[in-house]
Structure formats: structure tokens, C-alpha cells
């Protein structure tokens, strides 16, 4: 098929999907397009690239501090638009702070750490951008139907990212493919900048559509349900193909884990409280095994990867010898802008701009204080998801899977930074705004039993 015809058909297909989305008359407002556009921008290449301005050339780590003025303006405009929407909706900032204490403290500490950064202006600009993540989530939370808003965000993002990634890989390889500068191997990138980015796009959307499939199957049988199932299966197939073409082992393991968690809660004969305890134990055991024994060294060959994880092990050893303050780090997202990063660029031909480990990345920038606050935020998100299982079962298991995905993904990639889409996904799972429905007293007792690792009663949520 000629590329021009393929482009026309893909564009028509995307237009049809958007038209179908509008026709369904979902309980969402036009303001939802703000987080949709935000998601499309952070999950693909910069807008300056698509408009023909090209990409910036980074000769030194300090060049990373500048970025593109056009992209910076676009993100600022989106944040201002989000702020206006939230202001008009009369959002209660005290409620936001009180219901998201650990995330608030973590973000506040990130802002405070700018004071000891060697690049305070660059760190400040990056911090302002990161504040856009909770703002986008708050737009979703203040929609007439917050759960439907999340579904529409994911679907609208998929309508653009998935078909056009396939189009670029198959018909516009000079845009959708790249070559490894070291080995010369061809890499598939789609609308993103590299294969790892394509991998996490498939991770996020694949996990969502799998969860959406299970929730749709529980709906009453209607013609609309049948059409929705066909759409879900089609996108799962396309995402699976893209994930295979990306060859991202980290994303593959993460999405399988997320799907396993969501699927396990569909087994009616299993007590939910015990299942939560089991998954918490699995994640804790994996974390300890990785910390003390390096379990990824064993898993890497099984996934067809070298034990060094494509040079990550060596990089981790190098950055841990860096001269930084172990308590407070180098300042918010400042490590890769200084002299230590310049030295690492001279050592590695691929010029790393992240530690390829979210926890190590946090340590380098924010020190042990940052690690403690990050772990507290993750623990809080896990607990909120557990509570949510008893009030909104489907969304509770969705949140729980996201927390698990975030924990595992950051073992070999750094997603606790910048505008990473996995970071945005975590904020969706971790943040609360509207009060949840009242939880019966017996469920409170069950949750206290879970926290104390003691058995108190046998309660299952209605499904």
C-alpha cells in the first residue's frame, strides 16, 4: 500500500474513533481535552519536532537545562488552562492537601531542594512542569464522572498514539524506526523517540485496555457492549504488536504483572483481603531480593537480555560512587546537569541522562530524604487502592495494579521524574479528591486486620 493512502486511511480511522467517542455522549466536559493533550505530548515526541523545528542537539549535560522554548510555552499554557478550570470549579485546595499528604510533602520537598541545586533556574522550571501532573489528575477528579473521565483519557490517547505508531513503523520508517548507534540494529519507535518510550506507551495503554475488557465483560449484554468489546480486542491486538516490535523487556514484565493483579481479583472464590496480602508479600519479597541478591540478573537471560541489563549494572555502580550529599542529594532533577554527568558522558557512548532506576534516580537528586518520602507516597497509594477495593471494586483493582506496575517498572527505568507517563499514571492511582462512599464498620475491621497481618472475619466486596 502506498504510504499516502495508508496515511489517509489511518487519519480517517482515528477521526472515526474520535467521532464515535463524541457520539457516545459520555459524562465528561470539554476540559478533559487538557489532560488528553498533555498525555499525547508527554507520550510522544516533542511538539517542536512534529512542527518541523527539529530536536535540540545536546553536546554537554548542561544543554539539557535549556530545552525547547516552544515546548515550554505549550506546557505552561496547558497548566494555566488547567488552573483556570480548577479555579472555576471551586476546587478545595485544603481537601487536596489533606487527602494527599505524602504526595504533597514529597512535591514540596522537591521544590525546597531547588535551593541547593547547582542549576536552580533549570530545576525550578522542571518543578513547575511536574506540578502539571497533579493538576491534570485534579481535572479528572472534578469531572462529573471521574472514573469515566479516566477511561476517556486513556481511550482518546490510544486513538492517536497506537494507529499512528503502526503507520510510522510500517510506512514511514524514517520517522518510526531508528538504528542503534553501537550495534546498528534496527529499532522501532513509532511516534516516540526510542524503543523504551514506545514500550511504556504500550505498557500503559495495554494495561488499561485489559482492565477495561474485564469491566466491560461484567456489563449487561447489549449491542453497545458488543461494539465496545470489539474495539477493545482490536486495540489489545495492535498494542501487543507494537510491544513486540518495541522489544522492551521492562514494559513487558510490568504489563504482565499489572494484568495478573487485575485478573487475580476476578476470581470470586478468593478472599480479597488475603489476595491483597499475598500481592503485597510478592512485591516486598521481590524488592528485598532485588536489593540484596540482584534478582534481575537471573530474570534478564530468561527475557533474552544480557545480565548487565544493557549496561545498566555498570552505570549504577558508577553513579553510586558520585560525590553527592547522601541526605539531600544534588537538588531536584539536577544530577544530570552537572560535572558528574559530564564525566559519565565521557565514559558511555550512549550519553545517559537518567540512572535507569527510579529509586536510584531519586537518591541522586533528593537523597535519602527523597527516598523515604517516595516510599511513603507509594505505601499511601497502595493503602488507598486497598481501601478502594471495598467501595469501588473495579477502580480499586485498577489502582492497585498501577501501584505494582510503578514499583516494578522503576527497577530498570527511571519514571519518578519529569513528565514521564508512568509518573502521571501513578498520580492517577495515588491521588484522592472526592470523598469515597462510606465504608461499613465491618470492612474497617477487615482493613485493620490486613494492616496488622491478623485475621479478623471473612469479607468479600460485591462484584
pLDDT at 462: 42
238 has pLDDT over 60: yes
At 292 the pLDDT is 52
Lowest-confidence segment of 181-185, 210-214, 248-252, 370-374 by average pLDDT: 181-185
Q: According to the 3-state scheme, what is the secondary structure of 274-313?
A: HHHHHHHHHHHHHHHHHHHHCCHHHHHHHCCCCCCCCCHH
Contact present, 202 and 255 (Cβ < 8 Å): yes
Helix axes 101-112, 120-130, angle to 10 degrees: 160
With 0-12 CB in 10 A as exposed, 13-18 as middle and 19+ as buried, what is 463?
exposed
How far is the C-alpha of 404 from the C-alpha of 446, rounded, in Å? 22
The confidence score (pLDDT) of residue 50 equals 84
In a 13 Å sphere around the CA of 11, the CA atoms on its Cβ side amount to: 6
The residue ranking higher by pLDDT, 300 or 314, is 314
Per-residue pLDDT, averaged over 280-300, amounts to 63
Name the percent of the chain in helix, strand, coil, to the closest 5: 70, 0, 30
How many whole angstroms separate alpha carbon 235 and alpha carbon 206?
8
Return the pLDDT at 354. Answer: 82
The label of the residue with cell 493533550 reads: 37
List the Cα angle 63/64/66 in 5-degree steps: 75
Work out the angle at residue 132's Cα, subtended by the Cα atoms of residues 126 and 134, and round it to the nearest 5 degrees.
125
430: pLDDT strictly greater than 80: yes
pLDDT 10s digits, 355-364: 888 899 999 9
Instruction: Please check whether residue 374 is in contact with residue 416, taking contact to mean a CB–CB distance below 8 angstroms.
Output: yes
Least confident of 214-223, 329-338, 454-463: 454-463
List the alpha helices (DSSP H) in 89-221.
93-99, 101-112, 120-130, 132-141, 146-171, 173-176, 195-217
Is 64 part of any domain? no
Beta-bridge partner residues of 187: 178
Is 60 exceeded by the pLDDT of residue 439?
Answer: no
For 20, other C-beta atoms within 10 Å of its C-beta total: 13
Give a yes or no: residue 419 inside a domain.
Answer: yes
Distance of CA 101 to the CA centre of its chain: 20
Whether 319 shows a pLDDT value over 60: the answer reads yes
Q: Is the pLDDT of residue 457 over 50?
A: no
Per-residue pLDDT band for 26 (boundaries 50, 70, 90) equals: confident
Structural domain total, the chain: 1
Tell me how far the alpha carbon of residue 89 is from its chain's centroid.
Answer: 26
Tell me the Cα Rg of the chain: 22
Say if 312 falls within a structural domain: yes
Higher-pLDDT residue of 314 and 11 is 11
- Average pLDDT of the chain? 83
pLDDT at 302: 53
What pLDDT score was predicted for residue 463? 47
pLDDT of res. 444? 45
Q: Which residue has the higher pLDDT, 463 or 42?
A: 42
Model pLDDT, residue 447: 47
User: Residue 437 — pLDDT band, cuts 50, 70, 90?
Assistant: very low
pLDDT at 201 over 90: yes
pLDDT average, residue stretch 416-423:
91
- d(CA 193, CA 69) in angstroms, rounded, equals 19
Whether 288 maps to a domain, the answer reads: yes
| 237-248 mean pLDDT | 92
Q: Which helix (H) or strand (E) holds 336?
A: none
Q: Which of 201, 200, 197, 193 is nearest to 157 (CA)?
A: 201
116 within some domain? yes
The pLDDT confidence band at residue 57, using thresholds 50, 70 and 90, is low
Q: To which residue does cell 484522592 refer?
A: 432
The torsion angles phi and psi of 177, rounded to 5 degrees, stand at -135, 160
Rounded Cα–Cα distance for residues 149 and 110 (Å):
29
Output the CA angle 261-264-270, nearest 5 degrees.
135
Q: How many Å separate Cα 130 from the centre of its chain? A: 13
Range of the domain at 354: 92-130+270-463
168 within some domain? no
Which carries the bigger pLDDT value, residue 356 or residue 410? 410
Q: What is the DSSP letter of 159?
A: H
Q: What is the pLDDT of residue 49?
A: 84
Give residue 278's pLDDT.
79
Question: Could you tell me the pLDDT band of residue 440, with boundaries at 50, 70 and 90?
Answer: very low
pLDDT at residue 393, rounded to an integer: 85
Average pLDDT over residues 239-261: 91
**What are 138-160's pLDDT values in tens digits?**
999 999 899 999 999 999 999 99
Q: Which carries the bigger pLDDT value, residue 444 or residue 29?
A: 29
With a cut of 90, say whether residue 101 has pLDDT above it: yes
Query: What pLDDT does residue 435 have?
Result: 45
Query: Above 70 in pLDDT, residue 298?
Result: no
- Crossing angle of the two packed helices 272-293 and 393-409, in degrees rounded to 10: 10
Asked if residue 387 is part of any domain, the answer here is yes
Q: What is the mean pLDDT of residues 42-54?
A: 83
463 assigned to some structural domain: yes
Q: Given this model, what pLDDT does residue 58 score?
A: 58
Taking residues 99-108, report their average pLDDT.
Answer: 95
Q: Is the pLDDT of residue 56 over 60?
A: no
Q: Which residue has the higher pLDDT, 259 or 287?
A: 259
CA 347 to CA 162: how far, in whole Å?
36
Please indicate whether residue 135 or residue 436 has the higher confidence score (pLDDT). 135
Average pLDDT of span 37-62: 77
Amino acid at each position: 500500500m502506498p504510504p499516502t493512502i495508508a496515511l489517509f486511511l489511518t487519519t480517517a480511522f482515528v477521526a472515526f474513533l474520535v467521532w464515535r467517542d463524541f457520539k457516545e455522549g459520555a459524562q465528561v466536559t470539554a476540559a478533559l481535552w487538557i489532560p488528553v493533550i498533555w498525555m499525547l505530548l508527554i507520550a510522544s515526541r516533542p511538539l517542536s519536532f512534529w512542527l518541523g523545528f527539529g530536536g535540540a542537539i545536546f553536546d554537554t549535560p548542561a544543554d539539557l537545562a535549556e530545552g525547547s522554548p516552544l515546548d515550554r510555552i505549550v506546557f505552561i499554557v496547558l497548566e494555566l488552562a488547567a488552573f483556570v478550570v480548577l479555579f472555576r470549579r471551586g476546587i478545595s485546595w485544603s481537601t487536596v492537601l489533606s487527602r494527599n499528604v505524602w504526595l504533597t510533602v514529597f512535591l514540596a520537598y522537591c521544590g525546597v531542594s531547588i535551593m541547593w541545586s547547582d542549576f536552580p533556574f533549570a530545576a525550578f522550571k522542571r518543578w513547575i512542569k511536574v506540578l502539571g501532573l497533579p493538576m491534570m489528575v485534579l481535572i479528572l477528579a472534578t469531572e462529573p464522572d471521574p472514573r469515566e473521565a479516566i477511561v476517556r483519557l486513556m481511550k482518546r490517547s490510544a486513538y492517536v498514539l497506537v494507529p499512528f505508531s503502526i503507520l510510522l513503523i510500517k510506512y514511514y520508517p524514517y520517522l518510526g524506526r531508528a538504528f542503534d548507534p553501537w550495534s546498528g540494529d534496527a529499532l522501532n519507535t513509532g511516534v516516540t523517540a526510542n524503543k523504551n518510550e514506545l514500550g511504556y506507551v504500550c505498557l500503559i495503554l495495554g494495561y488499561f485496555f485489559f482492565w477495561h475488557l474485564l469491566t466491560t465483560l461484567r456489563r449487561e449484554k447489549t449491542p453497545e457492549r458488543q461494539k465496545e468489546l470489539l474495539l477493545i480486542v482490536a486495540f489489545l491486538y495492535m498494542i501487543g504488536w507494537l510491544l513486540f516490535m518495541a522489544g522492551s523487556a521492562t514494559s513487558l514484565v510490568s504489563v504482565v504483572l499489572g494484568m495478573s493483579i487485575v485478573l487475580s481479583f476476578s476470581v470470586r472464590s478468593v478472599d480479597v483481603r488475603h489476595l491483597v496480602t499475598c500481592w503485597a508479600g510478592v512485591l516486598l519479597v521481590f524488592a528485598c531480593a532485588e536489593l540484596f541478591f540482584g534478582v534481575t540478573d537471573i530474570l534478564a537471560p530468561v527475557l533474552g537480555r544480557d545480565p548487565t541489563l544493557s549496561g545498566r549494572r555498570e552505570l549504577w555502580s558508577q553513579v553510586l560512587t558520585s560525590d553527592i550529599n547522601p541526605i539531600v542529594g544534588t537538588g531536584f532533577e539536577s544530577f544530570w546537569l552537572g560535572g558528574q554527568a559530564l564525566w559519565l558522558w565521557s565514559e558511555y557512548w550512549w550519553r545517559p541522562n537518567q540512572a535507569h532506576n527510579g529509586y536510584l534516580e531519586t537518591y541522586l537528586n533528593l537523597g535519602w530524604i527523597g527516598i523515604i518520602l517516595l516510599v511513603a507516597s507509594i505505601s499511601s497509594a497502595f493503602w488507598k487502592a486497598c481501601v478502594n477495593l471495598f467501595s469501588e471494586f473495579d477502580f480499586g483493582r485498577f489502582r492497585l495494579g498501577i501501584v505494582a506496575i510503578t514499583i516494578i517498572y522503576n527497577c530498570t527505568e527511571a519514571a519518578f521524574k519529569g513528565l514521564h507517563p508512568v509518573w502521571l499514571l501513578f498520580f492517577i492511582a495515588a491521588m484522592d479528591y472526592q470523598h469515597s462512599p462510606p465504608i461499613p464498620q465491618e470492612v474497617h475491621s477487615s482493613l485493620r486486620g490486613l494492616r496488622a497481618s491478623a485475621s479478623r472475619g471473612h469479607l468479600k466486596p460485591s462484584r
